[in-house]
Each structure stands twice: as C-alpha cells, then as structure tokens.
Amino acid sequence: MTITCKSVWDACIKVIKDNIPAHAFKTWFEPIVPVRLEKDTLTIQVPSHFYYEWLEEHYINLLKKVIKKEIGPEGQLEYSIVMDNNQKDANPYTVKLPTSNKPDLKNAPISVPNSYNENQIKNPFVIPGLKKINIESNLNPAYTLENFVEGDCNRLARSAGYAVSKKPGGTAFNPLLIYGGVGLGKSHLAHAIGIGIKNQHPNKTVLYVASEKFAHQFIDALKNNSTNDFIHFYQMVDVLILDDVQFFSGKVKTQDVFFHIFNHLHQNGKQIILTSDKPPVELQGMEQRLLSRFKWGLSADLTLPDLETRIAILEKKMQYEGIELPRDVVEYLAFSINTNIREMEGAWNSLLAQASLNKKSITLELAKQMIDKFVKNTAREVSIDYIQKVVCDYFDLPLEMLKSKTRKREVVQARQISMYFSKKMTKSSLASIGQHCGGKDHATVLHACRTVLNLSETDKQFKVYLEDLEKKLTIQ
C-alpha cells in the first residue's frame, strides 16, 4: 500500500478517536482535511485560525504522539488554514507546528482585576471585574529532565525535582532548594522541573525568574510606587522558580518583599523552587526568618560529577546536537576538565569551533592541543576512576565487574593492575584505592602492587600490557 497523506491521517484519526470524547472528535477533528505529505511533514487543513489555536492548546500532545507513531520520530505537523469569510479566495496559509519535540511552555492566561496593568497599576484589589493576562514562563525548552544526566552527584536533587514536577505544591519538598557550585547544573535542573510541571499540569502558571531580575523589578516597582502590584503579580503564580537566591544577600528590602510572596505562595499550597550557590547555613547577609523558611522543605546539593557521569553528559549533548565525536576525544575532554560542566561544555564548543574554522577533523591530537590551551593552569592528576576506566577498556571488561567482589581470574588481574597504577600515579592512600576497587583493605592493595611487579618481571605478555597501559595513562 502506498503511503499518502490520507492514509497517514486516517491512521492518526483512528487513534485520536479512541482517545477523546465523541463530541470533541466530531467538533475538532472531523472537519480536518489532510492535504499534503512531504518527507516527514504532514499538512492538515483546518477551517480557521481558531481551530488551529484550539488544537494546539488542547490536543497538541495527542497529535504529537500519533504523528510520531505514524510517520516516525522525525514526524512533523503543519497546518494549512482556510482564510476566514471575506478572503475566501485567498490561498490557505500555513503555520508550522512548534517543532514537535518542544514542549509547550506557555502559561494559560490568568484572570486579574480589570485595573491590572503589568507595568503600573494603582490598586489591584479594589476595582471589580476580571481580565486575562499572560505570564511568560521564561523556561528554556532545552533544559529538560531527560537531558539532565543522572549521577551520584545529583541523585537526590534530581529525584526530588522529579517528584515536585509530578505534584507541585503537594510534596514535602516545598520549598525545594537546589544548591551547589557554579556550572554544576542548578539552573538546568530548575528549568527542567518547571518544564516537567508544564507538561504534566498545563494549567498551572509557572514562572522562572533570576533573582537578579526579581531584585531589579522590585527596585522599579519602588520607584513607580507599585510594590503592591509587584507582590500581587508574584502571588498569582502556581509555581515560582527563583534562580540564584544568594543574590539577595544584603538586600534587606528585596528579602522583605520576597518573604511576603513566599509566605503567601506557601500558605496556598503553591510550589517554590530556589537555587543557590551555597547551602542555607552558609548564606551570609540573609535574614534569619527567610533562611528558616528555606529549610522548611528540602535542600539538595549538586556536586561535581564523576568521570563516567561527565562522559554521559557529553554523550547526551552529542545526541541532542546531532554531533558525533570519537570516543577517545569525549573521554579526554571529560577527563581533563574536572572543574565544572559549564567549563567542559566550553571546551567542547571551542573544540568544535577550532575544527570547523580550520577545517580539521576532530581527533584526539586536536583535542589535546586545544585543551592544553584551555586548561593551561589546571594541574591534572590522573584519578583512580580514570585508571579503572582505561584498564577496563583495555581488557574489555565492564567497570562494575572491576568494582565487584568477583574472583574471576581476568577480573582479579585487571583489578590488581588498577590498584598498581593508582598507587603509582595518584596521591590516594592505599585504603582509598582499596575502597574504589571493590571495597578491599590496604593490605590487599599492597599485595596487588607486589603481584603486579613480580609478574611484570616474569611474564613478557604481562609486561607488554603494563607498558601499553602506562602509555595510555600518561598525559603528554
């Protein structure tokens, strides 16, 4: 059977019909005519702009699902809209569906008193009557939870974020405070929770704001005598995400106004998500009453990801951007930059730029040259993690095996070699090396080092392994 726009749309319609009430189907889907299928894009004609908006607002997720099911992961939908009445003879015009992978992050309009003026209103509480306004969510669609790689470094924060996105305001994690050093993913995770909430609770009004912006808006409100409106505006949201709250340090009035907003939201079961570069106890210049509220919910930290998570983050990035880098380059990048993720991404971007500007292919050689410039002053010490990884790759063993208690000969050997190089190349104690290698004690590590030395003297093949590995581990 040949695939036509009609056959594809018929298949979509079948699924849609089973998933929505009959009257809704009759009203919104029966009038649709499929008009074109080009590559992976199906174009459907709808009777008016209003139809298009309604479909977008109410059925976007369902449409995305069926289109992808019928056309494949690259499937896209376009609308062709028949012009309303007076322009009957005009050609239908086409609107592109917001690319199918992007979540819809718009907030639905919310009702405010008629007198409300986003820039300046006198008193929002007095005048009766309602009108609708839109609050931009300010969420970055690239920062999703799926794109946020899980690791030991973020497990608690990530799973708390996940729980909050399912039940905003309905968990013990209110406020949820995510803290950690620069470039470790606080903003990413905060956006991801907001996006998760919008996906699962499209009617909730989510607002992401940087603390700095909040503080500036407040100063403007002070100047314009509109602090009431300012407070009222923030009190209207269902989910407030305030990024980098340490910026409020020493700003007494801003803290004061935030205190009122916080209380109102919290009392009304609204979700508050905060990020900070320090844990609450270390936030200087912050009022005690505010700090104590920060501690009401959950404070979860983000730490530096280990080597494997850093590699996974780069892999995720490659997948997202559709770029493929050689494995050894990815590992080298992840290994060399162990300050924070933003720096690692910076190095990655410079590497891509270098390669494309100089029309060179991305090789380990190029990566080494570039990174040496990039992290000139960072002393790089080989880590136990890295040693284990290189050894496992060399012997083609899974890393978990090396860290397990298994006594299989080839695993024992790889484990002993890892211990030997860890002793030789890192400053770690014997006990800590043992800990990393399946929870062994210091005596086992010493024994391993001796065994490796002995074998290297008696077994030629073994000696070759060691030399190979040493080369791999030595950074020129």
In the complex with Mg ion, the residue whose CB is nearer, 187 or 422, is 187
Residue 62 or 375: which CB sits closer to ligand ADP?
375
Q: Which does 337 bind (CB under 5 to 8 A by kind): ligand ADP, Mg ion, none?
A: none
Please identify which residue in 187, 226, 309, 422 interacts with Mg ion, judged by CB under 5 A.
187
* Chain center to CA of 413: 39
428 near Mg ion (CB under 5 A):
no
How far apart are the C-alpha atoms of 346 and 301, rounded to whole Å?
A: 23
Using H for helix, E for strand and C for coil, what is the string for the chain?
A: CCCCHHHHHHHHHHHHHHHCCHHHHHHHCCCCEEEEEECCEEEEEECCHHHHHHHHHHCHHHHHHHHHHHHCCCCEEEEEECCCHHHCCCCCEEEECCCCCCCCCCCCCEEEECCCCCCCCCCCCCCCCEEEECCCCCCCCCCCCCCCCCCCCCHHHHHHHHHHHHCCCCCCCCCEEEEECCCCCHHHHHHHHHHHHHHHCCCCCEEEEEHHHHHHHHHHHHHCCCHHHHHHHHHCCCEEEEECHHHHCCCHHHHHHHHHHHHHHHHCCCEEEEEECCCHHHCCCCCHHHHHHHCCCEEEEECCCCHHHHHHHHHHHHHHHCCCCCHHHHHHHHHHCCCCHHHHHHHHHHHHHHHHHCCCCCCHHHHHHHHHHHCCCCCCCCCHHHHHHHHHHHHCCCHHHHHCCCCCHHHHHHHHHHHHHHHHHCCCCHHHHHHHCCCCCHHHHHHHHHHHHHHHHHCHHHHHHHHHHHHHHCCC
Residue 237 beta carbon to Mg ion: minimum distance, rounded to whole angstroms? 20
With CB under 5 to 8 Å by kind, the binding choice for 182 among ligand ADP, Mg ion, none is ligand ADP
Shortest distance in whole angstroms from residue 320 CB to ligand ADP: 9
Residue 56 or 345: the one with the smaller Cβ distance to ligand ADP is 345
Residue 241 vs 329, nearer CB to Mg ion: 241
- Residue 24 contacts which entry, ligand ADP, Mg ion, none (Cβ below 5-8 A, type-dependent): none
Question: What is the smallest separation between the CB atom of 153 and ligand ADP, expressed in angstroms?
Answer: 7
Residue of this chain nearest to ligand ADP (CB atom): 185
**Segment interacting with Mg ion, rule: CB under 5 A, options 105-113, 182-190, 231-239, 300-308:** 182-190
Q: How far is the CB of 323 from Mg ion (least distance, A)?
A: 24
Which of Mg ion, ligand ADP, none sits in contact with 443, Cβ below 5 to 8 A by type? none
CB of 188 to ligand ADP, least distance (A): 3
Of 133 and 209, nearer to Mg ion (C-beta) is: 209
Which of ligand ADP, Mg ion, none has residue 184 at its interface (CB below 5 to 8 Å by kind)? ligand ADP
Q: How far is the CB of 333 from Mg ion (least distance, A)?
A: 21
CA–CA separation, 412 and 418 (whole Å): 10
In the complex with ligand ADP, the residue whose CB is nearer, 90 or 182, is 182
Please report how close the Cβ of residue 241 comes to ligand ADP at its closest, in angstroms. Answer: 12
- Find the residue with minimal CB distance to Mg ion: 187
Q: Which is nearer to ligand ADP, 7 or 147 (CB)?
A: 147
Least CB distance to Mg ion at residue 252 (A)? 24
270 binding partner (options ligand ADP, Mg ion, none; Cβ < 5 to 8 Å by kind): none
User: CB of 223: closest distance to ligand ADP in angstroms?
Assistant: 30
List contacts with ligand ADP (CB under 6 A): 147-149, 154, 180, 182-188, 313, 316, 341-342, 345
**Rule CB under 5 A: which residues touch Mg ion?**
186-187
